[in-house]
Amino acid sequence: MKNTVFSTWASVIIIALILAYLLIRLFKLENWLRAVRLVLSLPRPPAVPVFGNVLMVKNCTEFLDFLINSNRYYGLLTGAWISVIPIVVIIDPEHARKILLNTKETQKNFIYTFMDTFLGHGLLTTSGTKWRTHRKLIQPFFHLNTLNLFINTFAESSEILVQELRGKSEVKMSTFINVVVLKILHRALMGIPVHDHDTQAISPFNKGHLVVLQRLTRPWYILDNIYKFSSISKYESTQRLTLKEFAKKILDERRANVGKGEWCLLDSLIKVSETNPHFDDKNIVDEICTFMLAGQDSVGSATSFTLYNLAKHPEIQQNVVDELDAVFRDYGGINGESLNKMVYLEQCIKETLRLYPSVPVISKKLVEDVQLGKYTLPKGLNVLISLIGMQRLEDYYQNPNKFDPERFAPGNQKGLNQNAFIPFSAGPRNCVANKFALMEMKAIIAMVLRHFKITLPPDYQLQLRYRVTLRARGGIRLRLQPREQSDLRQ
């Protein structure tokens, strides 16, 4: 009798579990079907069966053209497909604001999931409670008073860059910029001195490479059980192991030498881990890897594009140099006060980020239905927000493709729609390190322009490419002409 009762209850439990699983699957299927119906109702680029629009994504030129001009081709809401995954592309600032400023919109979508294998679970890829906790713990590191501690690192690293550029008449400037940015990150995040050439040389962060697009453009690799057997997955896993082993080695060294050397982010994370048992070494390593990889790509790109714009527009470059002359005369060099006074240079950086945002498109997964005009975007939908297209809309920027730093002059900013300029994203998931990045870029660009007049080689034509961040195909090449000492008015 007891066996019969037990068997009956076991059957009920099993049936209940099966029904629960089917209901969950049905609910997800219902959301997918709603998303499919929405995309089919929207204007959209031609798609290929099974592949969807991944062939367009694979073609950098075509994809960037789509991101910049989708409103002209298809309107403010555009449907698209990544294989069988329905996507909606957003280019309207008001639509973007409604999604980004919603405090519930902290869910990562499948594109960020693809980064987990490489980055681990840091701020960029996590969601929900873990993301909120980590953000709260890390945020204080990027307060202005803390950032001022790294100004000497910005200045010292920029001086090294100047020394390396001396005697050169034409360089691939983006390569040099990437090196100096990496030096700064090694020092600020892991405490590795900028003059520690041996450690810098063996650092695997010199070669870190995301393979998200390679996976995204092969629909069969969307499935983890297939992807894990691919050569791309093996390469990514090897990279991940190398990066994490290096970060763990530095972590162990910092913990063994607490209080020695200059303070860095790693020291703060170690301190956090001592009072927060859930923030263990794995979390520390994941966050360090995230900041190292995301920081070098985004800042390196923005700095190089700013120098390109200044080389292309000599009259604007001269305005920056005139400002630097006055700032250096009053404050003597790179410090907190001088960086704060580089107002026109900051305008040039912002205008560059408007035209060439380091991350030209950001992605979100909706955690609830969102109403945009006459369309209801269903829960679970993956959306792409085209920053590079939004920030070039004629409705918000007169002559939008022109490089014009005056757009961001103090007297003109009131006329700008702040929702139409979000190179660091917006809302709760905006870039936590945006102030750090801006100070870093100012210091590097100021030191270059104090010592060199920069121009474009006659045969150089900028061609954009996209690999999660925006790049210049073949790098950015510049000509250098040393400034006479008499030109440096201090």
Q: Which residues contact 113 (CB under 8 A, 6 or more apart)?
A: 125
Is 352's pLDDT higher than 90?
A: yes
Q: Which residues contact 210 (CB under 8 A, 6 or more apart)?
A: 115, 118, 293, 467, 468
Q: What pLDDT sits at residue 383?
A: 94
Residue ranges of domains in the chain: 42-487
- Which residues are known binding-site members for heme? 431
Q: Average the pLDDT over 101-114 and give the result.
A: 66
Q: Average the pLDDT over 59-71 and give the result.
A: 92
Cβ proximity of 183 and 200 under 8 Å: yes
pLDDT digits (tens, 9 = 90+) for 419-449: 899 999 888 888 889 999 999 999 999 999 9
Is 418's pLDDT higher than 50?
A: yes
Q: Other C-beta atoms within 10 Å of 103: how many? A: 9
Q: At CA 396, angle to CA 390 and CA 402, rounded to 5?
A: 80
Is 27's pLDDT higher than 60?
A: no
Q: What pLDDT sits at residue 180?
A: 96
- Which residues are known binding-site members? 431
DSSP 479: E
d(CA 456, CA 171): 10
Q: What is the mean pLDDT of the chain?
A: 87
Is 348's pLDDT higher than 90?
A: yes
Is 389's pLDDT higher than 90?
A: yes
| Local confidence band at 26 (pLDDT 50, 70, 90 cut-offs) | very low
Q: Which long-range contacts (CB under 8 A, 24 or more apart) does 319-326 make?
A: 319/344, 320/344, 320/345, 320/348, 320/445, 320/449, 321/449, 321/450, 324/446, 324/449, 324/450, 325/488, 325/489, 325/490
Is 21's pLDDT higher than 60?
A: no
| Amino acid letter, residue 301 | S
Token pair listed for 116? 């987990």
Q: Which stretch of 58-72, 108-122, 288-302 has the lowest confidence by average pLDDT?
A: 108-122
d(CA 242, CA 244): 6
Domain 42-487 class in CATH: mainly alpha
Q: Which stretch of 49-53, 163-167, 212-216 has the lowest confidence by average pLDDT?
A: 212-216
Q: What pLDDT sits at residue 16?
A: 55
pLDDT digits (tens, 9 = 90+) for 241-283: 999 999 999 999 999 887 778 899 999 999 999 988 889 999 9
Q: What pLDDT sits at residue 23?
A: 46
Say what the pTM is: 0.90
Compute CA distances 485 → 292, 311, 331, 450, 488, whole Å. Answer: 36, 20, 18, 10, 5
Compute CA distances 43 → 73, 79, 81, 371, 480, whole Å. Answer: 9, 6, 12, 18, 47
Q: What pLDDT sits at residue 200?
A: 87
Place of tokens 């001022």: 148
Cβ proximity of 272 and 137 under 8 Å: yes
- Can you spell out the DSSP letters for 226-289? HHTTSHHHHHHHHHHHHHHHHHHHHHHHHHHTTT-SS--HHHHHHHHHHH-TTS-HHHHHHHHH
Q: Other C-beta atoms within 10 Å of 22: how many? A: 11
Is 107's pLDDT higher than 70?
A: no
The strand ranges marked E within 43-142 are 77-82, 85-90
Is 372's pLDDT higher than 80?
A: yes
Q: What pLDDT sits at residue 486?
A: 43
- Can you spell out the DSSP letters for 130-179? HHHHHHHHHGGGGSHHHHGGGHHHHHHHHHHHHHHHTT-SEEEHHHHHHH
- Using DSSP's 3-state secondary structure scheme, residue 371 falls into strand
Is 108's pLDDT higher than 70?
A: no
Q: What pLDDT sits at residue 312?
A: 98
Cβ proximity of 25 and 180 under 8 Å: no
Cβ proximity of 189 and 291 under 8 Å: yes
Is 130's pLDDT higher than 90?
A: no
Q: Other C-beta atoms within 10 Å of 244: how many? A: 20
216 vs 456, more confident: 456
pLDDT digits (tens, 9 = 90+) for 306-342: 999 999 999 999 999 999 999 999 998 999 999 999 9
Token pair listed for 91? 């280019």
Cβ proximity of 227 and 189 under 8 Å: no
Of 121, 120, 125, residue with least CA distance to 237: 120
Q: Which residues contact 263 (CB under 8 A, 6 or more apart)?
A: 149, 191
Token pair listed for 6? 């037990």
What percent of the chain stands above pLDDT 90? Answer: 57
Is 5's pLDDT higher than 60?
A: no
